[in-house]
Amino acid sequence: MNRVLRSFLVVLVIGIALCSPVAALATRTYSDTISGHEYYATSTDGKFAGSASGALPGSWNADVQHTALCISCSTTATITGGSFLLATTLNSVPTLITGTFRGGSVQVTNSGTNCTNQTFAVNGILGNVGPWYGGTGSGAFTATLTHYRHSIFGSCITYGASVTGTLPLNF
């Protein structure tokens, strides 16, 4: 076999291997811990931002949309939508990892009687996870949200909120 034909065959085999479905389906799991603050909240929406550390360190933002959460009437809300963003580096390249909330729940774990701090378990299911709004991966946003409260002149005031948790992503 001559050198030109042999070189052509080598290039053809490499090209087929790189374009095969098996190579395209290879996914990786990235695990981070997250911390941050809630900067906006209504009975049906919570917006959070903070930092991530682990496999994909960086800054993140989440908008968690859910059914009405009323401490005195319903202690669990269903996540109905929202978005997730993580500014990080992937393979040494600055990258924005994005995703959408596909379901999950927000559950009151401590209602904060007598104006004590309230806590909530946020368990979000993420879809469309991947770089630059083109992802088909999945993930989870699992966090504890704490509302810090204090009684001032007989009124219970929430003066801050923090969030800590984990962020496993597959893409």
Domains of the chain: 27-170 (2.40.160)
Alpha helices (H) in 20-99, listed in sequence order: 21-24
**Tens-digit pLDDT profile for residues 1-22:** 554 434 433 333 334 333 434 3
**Tens-digit pLDDT profile for residues 57-96:** 999 999 999 999 988 777 899 999 999 999 999 999 999 9
Report yes or no: 82 and 105 within 8 Å, Cβ to Cβ: no
pLDDT at position 12:
36
pLDDT at position 6:
45
Average pLDDT for the chain: 88
Range 108-117 average pLDDT: 96
pTM of structure: 0.83
Give the three-state DSSP class for 13. Answer: helix
